[in-house]
Structure 1
Amino acid sequence: MRRLLTVILALLLPVAAVACSDMPDTTSAAGLAKKTKIKVGYMPIPDCAPLFVAIHRDYFKDEGLEVEAVPVQGGGIAQPMLESGALDFAIMNYTAAILAEQSKPSVMRVVSDAYQSAPHTFKLMVRADSPIRKLQDIRGKTVAVATLKSVGTLTLQAALEVAGLTMRDVQVREMELPRMILELQRRTIDVAWMTEPFITIWASQHGGRELYELMQGRVEDWPIAGWATGGEYAEHFPDRVAAFQRAMNRAQIDVETEPRLVHDLLPTYTKIPKDLAQTIKVGVFPRTLEPARIQKVADLMQEYGDTKGRVDVQRILMPLPGTAPMSPSPSVTTPEPTP
């Protein structure tokens, strides 16, 4: 229990790169001529590894950017922070971005792809002694998700559909990912929607049991999240946005070609034990924003009644100029760690 509390508290600790100047920026061929400070919201999950690759390998510095990394609970929490200017960029799941566009057109722009699911990267987890043995057993139970109206609730709906259930058949609670482990042990929740590294922590340290592999069927190889900025910020500071995109594009390529980077960097921004970091399952890091692939998210949301009518995702996508609209093959996944 002591080790669990140490891990959970460490996962909640904020991590920030040292940031110095907040001077106005001008452009040059190499990026911004003067250092510009930006605040970037991240979560302690593998999706955000490229951000820390770009920090550690000075890709932002090469572009004239000084980054302060700010922990956030999820896209729904980050959205108002982007609107207010408390954050300049943030990890944003596509479900939250699409809902934001429908409620407030042009309120945000997704400027870089971040993460796509792969097998074993998102699961519904229960206690080892839970009486819940099959998906249909969660009727009337309490299910925790990181944020409401997000990729968590959307993919939960897809799982419930397989079981012949709907969201009305369960009680959904919003909860920080690290806290789910404690609440499962306290029995205040019955099921947790988990991603890595929490799946591995719960299973390996506490005998937690998998109930259901989430990213299958209709949501296999699912677009999870991108990096977003506020619509006004994108309009007023296009040079900063382009600099951020170039740095992140280099980092996305790195994690695709050097998959061990994710496992090696996780302890630097989540503080999870190195041995656990080496064993987690990792998804795909697309290099470009592909409208057809991301449109699947909006179309499923429309089908479930989460949006009123169809949302054209091209309205929220702001790809780096000159990048081809390509996406990884659905069969491509990051190689698993060598035992």
Structure 2
Amino acid sequence: MTRKLRCHAIVLGVTVALTLAGCGGSGDSANTAANSGGLEKTNITVGALPIPDPVSLYIANAKGFFKEEGLTVTPKTITGGAAAIPAIENGSLDISQTNYVSTFLAVSQGKKIKLVADMYQAAPNTFNIMVPKDSPIKTVADLKGKTVLVNNLKNIAQLAVTSQLKVAGLAETDVKFVEKPFPEMGNTIQSGQADAGWITEPFITANQSKFGFRKLVDTMTGQTADLPIAGWMATEEWASKYPKTLAAFQRAISKAQQLASSDRKEIEAMLPKYTQIDAKTASVITLGAYPSELNANRLQKVADLMLEYGYLKNPIDVKSVIAAPAAG
């Protein structure tokens, strides 16, 4: 069970670079199956945000879990799950991090996407609405008519905020949602260009330390308690074309997820290596959970919430979106 640590006000110069990596793709220069234990493709490019959620990707690389499977995995920075969908479609990414809301929305629009592995599940105080320390906004109801920042429109962020608005008697249309990358939210809010932001770690801790931001509400409560947040996706075509490669990725990621779940120190040691989160910050940020396998019943909760709030026009059976589990 993931330990939950309270964030203390410490002076941290924390920023996380979200500069996109170059646009080069993984290409089709995979080694032959004869040299790779039967894998159809041994070199893959995987999209990920430089935040705690995809830490298992980097753990699997560092611990040699991918290498054991005959895989060479090159991480590539993305800005969000929705933004990564064109990249997996055009082949510049083989697999990518995604949030489940963006995935189910894309599937409802006809996108041929498969979820291939789980990644991150919410815990208390991992996704909060934050406001400046001297803000007149004291309750969620005070957000009426205000501007709220989210990292992507119509994704898990907007859905989570909307669920809290409902509890306060407000509708999604009662606030103005504006898209802004997590690293830019603090300065944007502090300068008065927005009133509040939906913020995750390490930016919760960073903005508390730098600006004195305070939590307005934990968005992962009530309907959204323990909500599945993010996973790994590929196109349906890719999953069908490279089944052995996919199975190898799934096995390595599952092994890394189990390690992350059982030993927080592994996460703390890895975060400074692929983000600009320093070791001190890594030791105090609040973390969610790292499930080692996709569970249709848990994910169905996300799709059902989306239907309730009008993100989906028709129900989705998430079992149809999940790729077959790894063999062996």
> Is 1:104 aligned to 2:110, yes or no?
yes
Structure 2 counterpart of 1:294: 299
Q: Secondary structure at the match of 1:210?
A: strand
2:48, 2:96 within 8 Å by CA — same for their partners in 1?
A: yes
- Residue 149 of structure 1: how far off its partner (Å): 1.6
Indicate the residue corresponding to 1:335 in structure 2.
none
Contact preservation (8 Å) 2:30, 2:41 = yes
TM-score by length of 1: 0.87
2:70 to 47, 64, 74: 64
Structure 1 partner of 2:8: none
The alpha-carbon distance between structure 1 residues 143 and 117, as it changes in their structure 2 partners (threshold 3 A), is same
Matched, 1:49 2:55: yes
Distance, in Å, in 2 between the alignment partners of 1:58 and 1:34 is 20
Amino acid at match of 2:156: V
Residue 117 (1) aligns with residue 122 (2): yes
Residues 313-322 or 299-308, more deviating: 313-322
Instruction: Give the aligned partner of residue 200 of structure 2.
Output: 195
Structure 1 residue 31, shift from structure 2 partner = 4.9
1:221-262 per-residue CA deviation (whole Å, 9 max, x = no partner) reads 101011111111111111111111111011011101112211
Q: 2:50 & 2:117 partners in 1: Cα distance?
A: 18
Change (3 A) 1:20 1:58: farther
Could you tell me how far apart the structure 1 residues matched to 2:82 and 2:59 are? 25
**Alignment partner, residue 147 of structure 1:** 152
Instruction: Output one character per residue of 1:122-153: Cα deviation in whole Å (capped at 9) or x when no partner.
Output: 10001111111111010111101111121111
Q: Which runs of 4+ in 1 moved over 4 A?
A: 13-16, 30-35
Q: Could you tell me which residue of structure 2 aligns to residue 315 of structure 1?
A: 320
Q: Note the aligned Cα RMSD (angstroms).
A: 2.2
Amino acid at match of 2:29: D
TM-score by length of 2: 0.90
1:35, 1:66 within 8 Å by CA — same for their partners in 2? Answer: no
Q: Is the 8 A contact 1:112 1:319 kept in 2?
A: no
Residue 212 of structure 2 corresponds to which residue in structure 1?
Answer: 207
The 8 Å contact of residues 127 and 218 in structure 2, kept in 1 or not, is answered as yes
1:5-44 paired onto structure 2 within 5 Å: 7-8=14-15, 10-13=16-19, 22-26=29-33, 31-32=37-38, 36-44=42-50
Query: What is the number of residues matched between the two proteins?
Result: 315
Give the 3-state SS of the residue equivalent to 1:46 in structure 2: coil
Taking CA–CA contacts closer than 8 Å with sequence separation of 6 or more, which of the two structures ends up with the larger relative contact order? 2
Q: SS where residue 215 of structure 1 aligns? A: coil
State the partner residue of 1:268: 273
Structure 1 position 180, deviation (Å): 0.6
Structure 2, unpaired ranges of 5+: 1-10
Q: Tell me whether 1:233 sits opposite 2:233 in the alignment.
A: no
Q: Cα gap change, 1:20/1:54 in structure 2, threshold over 3 Å: closer, same or farther?
A: farther
Among 265, 269, 279, the residue aligned to 2:284: 279
Q: Give unmatched runs, 5+ long, in structure 1.
A: 324-339
